[in-house]
Structure formats: C-alpha cells, structure tokens
C-alpha cells in the first residue's frame, strides 16, 4: 500500500508527527517503579506504528506521554510541533483537543450525548461554531459508515458502532496523531476486524496512527511494531516494505514477536 | 466552550437523574419559598398597618406622657401604657395648643370607665368609652348619622359596637351606660364611626367595640391643678390636628410649648410629654415590623442553607459518579475551566430552578396567610429579586467545591476507573 496520500505525501521526508527523546518516567508505588527509562522514538507523519508489550512494560505510560495526559520526569515529547514535556495543563489540554485523537479500549463515549454530539465534543472544547461542529461530525460519521445513526446514543449502538463513533471523534479536529489504546479489546473478533480495517483506512487516508496493544495479531496491521519491555524499547520490527525508518533508542537487531 | 453548549450538556445531566434533581430543587424551593412567605407577609402587614394609620390621621400630632428614657419621643408607641394614661393635659393646655399657628383643631381625649352598656334589654360588658370632643371626628369618619355635640347626652359608636347587641344599634336608639361607680346614664346614639377611632392607644389591633362620648358631661377625671390646689379636668392624650401643609412647623411649635405646659408641671420628674407626629409613628412602626420581618426571614434563610447543602451534596455525588466522563472530556481537550463550568452550570441551574419555583410557591402561601390574617397582599419585590439572586448564588456557591474537585480530576486516573 502506498505510504500516504494527499498533502501528507508532499511533506516527505516529513518533520515527525511525534518525537519522544530520552524520556524517563518513574512512579512512586510503595517503591520507585521506573515505567520508562530513556526511551526515544519518532513517528513520521503518515506512519502506522504499533507499540507492543506485556502489561507493566511501560507502553501505557508512553501512550499517556504522547497523548499529553502526563509529563515525563526527564526528556522531551513533541506532538505536531508542540513541546508537551514542559507545557502547562492548559496547553496540553489544547493539544489533546486539536492534535491528538484518542481511541480507547472501552470506547468511552459520553452515554447521554448522541453519536453526533460525541463526535463534536472535541470541537466543542476547541470553540468551533455549532453549525461547523455538526457538519464536521456528520461528515466523519458518514465516513465511518454511521451516517444513519447520527442521533443515536451510545446505549443504542452495538460495540462495533460505538468504536466507530469513537474513531470519528478521534478524527474530529484533524489531529496530528491518532492514539488507539487496545481498540479491539472490548469487541468480538469480527467487530475487531472491522475496527482494524477502519484504522487501516485512516492510515491510507494519510493519518498518523499509533496503536497500543498486547496482541500480535492486532499489531501486525501496522507498518512496524515497536516492542517495549521493562521501560525500554527492545526492538523495532519492520513489517511493510514501505515502513519508514524509525529513530529509536533501540540499537539491537529487530526482533520477532513475543506474543 | 460556549455557554449554550454548556447549558445543553448540564441540562442533559440534570435530566438523567430526574428524581434526584427534583428532590434537590425541592430543598431550594422550600428555602426560597419560606423567605418569600415571611418577607411578603411581613411587607403586607406593614403596608396594612401603615396605611390604616396614615389614612386616619395623616396630619396629627399626638401628645402623651412618656418615660424620660424614651426621650419624650422615639420608642415604640404604646410603650409604658400605664404612664401614657396619666391625665395631665389641662384645659389651659388644650386652649394654648389650639392657638398655635396652623393648628386646625385640638382633640383632648380620655377614658370614661364603664361597667356595661345596655340596649333593648341586652347588656354587654364594656369597660371603657372614649371621652373626647366633636372635633375628633373628621367628615369621612362618620359613616352614618353625625358626630355628637358637646354637652349633650349623646354617643357615637363604631361598627363593631353597633353589632355587639342582640338588636343592632341604629341612629336615634338609646343606650344605657353603667358607669364604673354604678351610676346609670342614658345616651342617644347619634352616629356610627368606621373602624376604631381616636388617638394613639386605640389604633392597633383589630377594632373591638368602641363608644365615643362627649367629654362634657361624661369625662370627669380631674387632677389637682398647678396653681391654687383647685382640681381641674385633665386628659391623658391630646391630638393636635395640623394644617397638612404645616405639620412640621406645628410639631416644632408644639414641642416648644410643651416645657411650659401644665402637663410638664404635673408630670413627675421621670416623665415628660411625648410629642409624635403621624409620620414619626409610622416610621417607628415600619421599623419595628421591618426588624421583625428581617428576623423571621433570617430564620427562613436557614432552610435555604439546608437547600444549598443539598445541592453541594448532589453535585459531589455527580462528580464522583462521572469521574470517568470527566476523564474522557479532558482527554478530548476539555480545559479545567470547561469542566468547572459544566458542574457549576449544573448546580446553578438547580439553584435557579429552585428559586424560580420557590417564588410562586412562596407567593401562594403568603397570599393565603394574608387572607387568613385579613390584611391586604403586598409584594415584597426586593425580596423576590433577592431570592433569585440568592438561589443562583446558592447554586454556584454550593457547586464551587464539587466543581473544583471535578476540574482537578486526573484524566489518567479517571480513565483507569471502571
């Protein structure tokens, strides 16, 4: 498949959508737990990357840092050109709203809002006008195949439909990166396949996608897999011929899957 | 985020818990409602009392014995009633007051002690009648017949007295007065006065039966005079009716005369002559009723505090229940202030809803209370505005802490929560 389309093609070799350099993060949980220990990673625009690792490997922490939900103890994190490691809460909230699209394992839609309102929610916080929000949300829902479900609330939708609403919401503000955290964890295999196809489509449409999972079957949909274990990057596994070179702290030979 | 969207989301969350929200609002309704009830009822009573006094004697100046502590004025009218009934105003005083510029008439007034009044074989116990002069009755005061004439064996009754007997009194009937000393005197009913007439002491409370007699020949209370030990007739109260345009100057002249009056000489050292205009009395009554209203309304504010605690409680519960939602909103770009705004709007809506519902509820109950107390219904507009402002303030105030907690929710923690 082609690496990217549209405007993203012209930015090759692009400034990376996400840069993580030499990041460490420790938690105090009875003792000091090092979640990330000097991790560097850069994701080119338009790339589709999976982060794999067992629980406790630090992959969720990495996701939280890239998603602007958390800040590292040391090191730098940039998303869409904005430094997040030394940004205040308001700036990070801004970036979360405009440069980052989250897709959660449990969908995490607001149950009392309609599909349309859920998709428009990031735009609401980004102060878009009401009509613009609705147009944008309707277009996105149509694109994920829910054009006839605009006014349904999450409880009235199936798991797969909910996840598609969540993906539409992630795309609402045209983010620099879509972060998908175990997006197939809560749906059956068939629906999971649909969701993954949707992520493939996102990638093909030029979006940068970072998928976090512990399932190799899921991770294999990406161009490359970044293996994380014990707070360090163990290796990068290139799956597609067109997979971009990732600069990481990893200097070992690429490893096979461990899942 | 824009206010309309905030409102929309807040309304949606309130409606997601209809019963819970309704009960919370009910707490505020009770609070605001009681404030409105007491404030409105207080204002109604105040307006009723003031208008009654104002109507009967707008330009009157009342002279009564008063305690020195009262400064001769000030203090609630009727305070020290025992003092105020001491007969000290002599005929010389009445004449002197009548000669002041701008005085239309001077009405001395005293109590004629009775033991009963009979009409057509039916006797009612009536302890006193008012002995005064024909000038006590203005043209509007007599609703039937005429005022009595001085020196005649005539009586004016009020409407309550008219119906006190088995057979209603009418003009030209004769009543038999049994005086306190046992003497019986006949008097012809010549007029019916509306309400309860006459001076400072008889203006308050519901109008009971009252009889008005000409002081000559019925009122005979006398004191030992100032000069030669001769007993002279004296009254405990004098009402100076001034030309309405000169009430102020007349009051000043009356005050200037008082130190040289017989009354001042006759009174013991610890008493002085109190001079009060209608305006001053109305002001004092207004102040007393106002204080009373504020006091009772203040107690009602307590229930408003309880309502506020209800809002704070339910908003805290809501924040706890929706921690995950808060996490989601923050993950998709909500600022702390957006989250705060959402929860504050929610609690403010509960408070405002309570206020808006509490006002009509309070007004209806207050209306019922005024009907029961037989006073006119007067809106306390300032208190209604106060109630709305307080309702919103209560909502916002009670929501502040929960909303602050919501704003500080850590999205990572929140999203980890089930």
From chain B, pick out residues whose CB is under 8 angstroms from the CB of A59: none
Q: Do B333 and A96 touch (CB under 8 A)?
A: yes
Q: Determine the distance from the C-alpha atom of residue A129 to the mean position of all C-alpha atoms in its chain, rounded to a whole number.
A: 26
What is the per-residue pLDDT for B111? 85
Q: Do A125 and B9 touch (CB under 8 A)?
A: no
Phi then psi for residue B240, to 5 deg, are -100, 120
From chain A, pick out residues whose CB is under 8 angstroms from the CB of B16: 112
What is the per-residue pLDDT for B112? 86
N-to-C CA span, chain A: 25
What is the per-residue pLDDT for B299? 87
Chain A residue nearest residue B12, CA to CA: A112
Residue B67 predicted with pLDDT over 50: yes
Instruction: Tell me the average pLDDT across B64-78.
Output: 57
Chain A residue nearest residue B415, CA to CA: A108
Residue B409 predicted with pLDDT over 50: yes
Residue A86 neighbours by CB distance under 10 Å: 10
The span from the CA of A206 to the CA of B42, in Å, is 73
Q: Do A127 and B5 touch (CB under 8 A)?
A: no
Angle at B98 between CA B92 and CA B101, to 5 degrees: 135
Percent of chain B with pLDDT over 90: 17
From chain A, pick out residues whose CB is under 8 angstroms from the CB of B4: 130
Mean pLDDT of chain B: 83
**CB distance B130 to B111 below 8 Å:** yes
- Convert chain B into a string of H (helix), E (strand) and C (coil): CCHHHHHHHHHHHHHHCHHHHHHHHHHHHHHHHHHHHHHHHHHHHHHHHHHHHHHHCCCEEEEEEEEHHHCCCCCCCCCCHHHHCCCCEEHHHHHHHHCCCCEEEEEEEEEEEEEEEEECCEEECCCEEEEECHHHCCCCCEEEECCCCCCCCEEEEEHHHHCCCCCCCCCCCEEEEEECCCCEEEEEEEEEECCCCCCCCCCCCCCCCCEEEEHHHHCCCEEECCCCCCEEEEECEEEEEECHHHHHHHHHHHHHHHHHCHHHHHCCCCEEEEEEEHHHHHHHHHHHHHHHHHHHHHHHHHHHHHHHHHHHHHHHHHHHHCHHHHHHHHHCCCCHHHHHHHHHHHHHHHHHHHHHHHHHHHHHHHHHHHHHHCCCCCCCHHHHHHHHHHHHHHHHHHHHHHHHHHHCCCHHHHHHCC
Pull the structure tokens for residue B140.
């509007």
The span from the CA of B130 to the CA of B418, in Å, is 84
What is the per-residue pLDDT for A24? 94
The span from the CA of B133 to the CA of B256, in Å, is 24
Q: Do A125 and B328 touch (CB under 8 A)?
A: no
pTM to 2 decimal places: 0.71
Could you list the pLDDT tens digit for every one of the 259 residues in chain A? 444 444 444 444 557 889 999 999 998 888 888 899 999 999 999 999 999 998 888 888 999 999 999 999 999 999 988 999 999 999 999 999 999 999 988 888 998 899 999 999 999 999 899 999 999 999 999 999 999 999 999 999 988 899 899 999 999 999 989 999 988 887 888 888 888 998 999 899 889 999 999 889 999 999 999 999 999 999 888 887 776 766 666 544 444 444 4
What is the per-residue pLDDT for B22? 93
Residue B132 predicted with pLDDT over 90: no
Pick from B350, B316, B325, B286: nearest CA to B417? B325
Using the Cβ of A70 and the Cβ atoms of chain B, whether some distance falls under 8 Å is answered with yes
> Which residue among B332, B411, B412 places its CB closest to the CB of A125?
B332
Q: Do B331 and A127 touch (CB under 8 A)?
A: no
Q: Which residue has the higher pLDDT, B187 or A254?
A: B187
Q: Enumerate residues 6+ apart whose C-beta is below 8 A from B50.
A: B282, B285, B286
**CB distance B29 to B352 below 8 Å:** no
State ipTM: 0.86
Q: Which residue has 């702290």 as its token pair?
A: A249
Using the Cβ of B18 and the Cβ atoms of chain A, whether some distance falls under 8 Å is answered with no
Using the Cβ of B333 and the Cβ atoms of chain A, whether some distance falls under 8 Å is answered with yes
CB within 8 Å of chain B, chain A residues 105-124 = 108-110, 112-113, 121-122, 124
Per DSSP, which regions of chain A are E strands?
18-29, 31-43, 48-52, 74-79, 82-83, 100-103, 177-181, 209-213, 224-229, 232-238
Pick from B1, B23, B9: nearest CA to B313? B23
3-state SS, residue A149: coil
**Pick from A61-75, A203-217, B77-91, B194-208: least confident:** B194-208
Q: Do B12 and A104 touch (CB under 8 A)?
A: no
- Convert B355-391 into a string of H (helix), E (strand) and C (coil): HHHHHHHHHHHHHHHHHHHCCCCCCCHHHHHHHHHHH
Pull the structure tokens for residue B188.
């012809």
Instruction: Tell me the average pLDDT across B166-194.
Output: 85
Q: Do A122 and B328 touch (CB under 8 A)?
A: no
Phi then psi for residue B115, to 5 deg, are -115, -20
Q: What is the pLDDT of residues B326-368, one digit of tens each?
A: 999 999 999 999 999 999 999 999 999 998 899 999 999 999 9
What is the per-residue pLDDT for B3? 85
> Which residue among A64, A90, A122 places its CB closest to the CB of B332?
A122
Residue B79 predicted with pLDDT over 80: no
The span from the CA of B84 to the CA of B414, in Å, is 76
Using the Cβ of A69 and the Cβ atoms of chain B, whether some distance falls under 8 Å is answered with yes
- At the topology level, CATH places domain A7-99+175-238 in Rossmann fold (3.40.50)
> Which residue among A90, A124, A169 places its CB closest to the CB of B5?
A124
What is the per-residue pLDDT for A156? 94
The span from the CA of B319 to the CA of B97, in Å, is 76
3-state SS, residue A23: strand
Q: Which residue has the higher pLDDT, B168 or B56?
A: B168
What is the per-residue pLDDT for A18? 92
User: Could you check whether the bond before residue B217 is cis, i.e. omega within 30 degrees of 0?
Assistant: yes
What is the per-residue pLDDT for B227? 67
Q: What is the pLDDT of residues A76-88, one digit of tens each?
A: 999 988 999 999 9
CB within 8 Å of chain A, chain B residues 399-418 = 411-412, 415
User: Could you check whether the bond before residue A13 is cis, i.e. omega within 30 degrees of 0?
Assistant: yes
Pick from B194, B229, B235: nearest CA to B216? B235
Segment of A63-67, B79-83, B125-129, B381-385 carrying the highest mean pLDDT: A63-67
Residue B78 predicted with pLDDT over 90: no
| Residue B273, strand partner residues | B65
Residue B144 predicted with pLDDT over 70: yes
Q: Enumerate residues 6+ apart whose C-beta is below 8 A from A205.
A: A5, A6
Pick from B257, B264, B222, B242: nearest CA to B65? B264
What is the per-residue pLDDT for A12? 47
The model's confidence at residue B171, banded by pLDDT at 50, 70 and 90, is confident
Instruction: Tell me the average pLDDT across B380-392.
Output: 83
What is the per-residue pLDDT for A14? 56
Shortest Cα distance, chain A CAs vs residue B416, angstroms:
10
**CB distance B214 to B154 below 8 Å:** yes
Q: In what order do the strands lie in the sheet with B222-224?
A: B89-90, B231-235, B222-224
The span from the CA of B343 to the CA of B403, in Å, is 5
What is the per-residue pLDDT for A10? 43
Using the Cβ of B11 and the Cβ atoms of chain A, whether some distance falls under 8 Å is answered with no
- Per-residue buried b or exposed e for A225-244, using 16+ beta carbons within 10 Å of the residue's own CB: bbbbbebbbbbbbeeeeebb
From chain B, pick out residues whose CB is under 8 angstroms from the CB of A25: none
Instruction: Tell me the average pLDDT across B88-113.
Output: 87
N-to-C CA span, chain B: 27
The span from the CA of A208 to the CA of A224, in Å, is 13
């Amino acid at each position: 498949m082609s690496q990217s389309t549209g405007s993203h093609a012209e930015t090759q070799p692009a400034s990376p959508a996400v840069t993580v350099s030499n990041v460490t993060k420790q938690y105090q949980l009875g003792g000091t737990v090092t979640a990330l220990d000097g991790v560097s990673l850069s994701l080119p625009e338009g790339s589709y990357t999976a982060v794999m690792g067992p629980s406790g490997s630090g992959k969720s922490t990495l996701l939280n840092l890239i998603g602007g939900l958390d800040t590292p103890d040391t090191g730098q994190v940039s998303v869409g050109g904005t430094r997040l490691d030394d940004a205040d809460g308001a700036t990070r909230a801004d970036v979360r709203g405009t440069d980052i699209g989250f897709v959660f394992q449990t969908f995490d839609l607001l149950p009392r809002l309609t599909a349309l309102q859920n998709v428009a929610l990031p735009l609401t916080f980004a102060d878009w006008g009401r009509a613009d929000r609705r147009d944008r949300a309707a277009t996105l829902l149509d694109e994920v195949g829910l054009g006839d479900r605009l006014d349904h609330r999450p409880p009235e939708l199936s798991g797969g439909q909910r996840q598609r609403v969540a993906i539409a919401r992630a795309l609402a503000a045209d983010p620099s990166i879509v972060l998908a955290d175990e997006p197939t964890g809560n749906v059956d295999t068939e629906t999971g396949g649909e969701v993954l196809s949707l992520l493939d489509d996102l990638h093909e449409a030029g979006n940068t996608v970072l998928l976090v999972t512990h399932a190799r079957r899921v991770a294999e949909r990406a161009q490359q897999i970044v293996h994380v274990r014990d707070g360090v990057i163990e290796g990068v596994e290139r799956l597609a011929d067109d997979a971009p070179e990732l600069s990481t702290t990893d200097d070992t030979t690429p490893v096979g899957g461990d899942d | 985020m824009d206010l309309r969207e905030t409102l929309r989301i807040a309304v949606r969350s309130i409606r997601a818990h209809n019963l819970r929200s309704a009960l919370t609002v009910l707490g505020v309704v009770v609070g605001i409602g009681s404030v409105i009830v007491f404030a409105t009822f207080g204002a109604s009573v105040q307006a009723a009392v003031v208008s009654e006094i104002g109507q009967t004697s707008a330009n009157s100046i009342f002279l009564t014995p008063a305690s020195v502590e009262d400064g001769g004025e000030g203090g609630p009218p009727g305070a020290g009633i025992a003092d105020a009934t001491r007969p000290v105003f002599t005929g010389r005083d009445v004449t002197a007051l009548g000669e002041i510029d701008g005085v239309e008439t001077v009405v001395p007034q005293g109590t004629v002690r009775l033991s009963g009044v009979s009409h057509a074989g039916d006797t009612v116990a009536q302890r006193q009648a008012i002995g005064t002069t024909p000038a006590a009755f203005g043209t509007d005061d007599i609703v039937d017949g005429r005022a009595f004439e001085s020196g005649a064996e005539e009586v004016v009754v009020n409407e309550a007295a008219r119906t006190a007997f088995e057979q209603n009194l009418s003009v030209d009937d004769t009543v038999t007065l049994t005086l306190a000393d046992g003497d019986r005197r006949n008097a012809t009913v010549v007029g019916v006065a509306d309400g309860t007439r006459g001076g400072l002491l008889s203006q308050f409370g519901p109008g009971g039966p009252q009889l008005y007699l000409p002081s000559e020949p019925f009122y005979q209370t006398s004191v030992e005079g100032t000069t030669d030990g001769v007993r002279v007739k004296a009254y405990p109260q004098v009402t100076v009716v001034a030309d309405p345009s000169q009430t102020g100057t007349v009051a000043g002249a009356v005050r200037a005369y008082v130190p040289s009056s017989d009354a001042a000489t006759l009174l013991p050292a610890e008493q002085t002559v109190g001079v009060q205009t209608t305006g001053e009395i109305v002001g004092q009554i207004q102040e007393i009723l106002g204080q009373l209203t504020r006091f009772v309304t203040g107690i009602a504010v307590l229930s408003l505090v309880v309502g506020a605690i209800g809002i704070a409680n339910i908003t805290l519960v809501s924040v706890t229940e929706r921690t995950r939602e808060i996490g989601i909103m923050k993950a998709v770009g909500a600022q702390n202030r957006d989250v705060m705004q959402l929860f504050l709007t929610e609690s403010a809506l509960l408070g405002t809803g309570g206020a808006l519902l509490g006002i009509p509820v309070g007004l209806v109950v207050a209306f019922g209370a005024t009907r029961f107390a037989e006073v006119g219904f007067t809106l306390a507009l300032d208190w209604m505005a106060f109630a709305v402002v307080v309702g919103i303030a209560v909502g916002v105030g009670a929501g502040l802490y929960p909303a602050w907690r919501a704003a500080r929710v850590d999205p990572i923690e929140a999203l980890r929560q089930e």
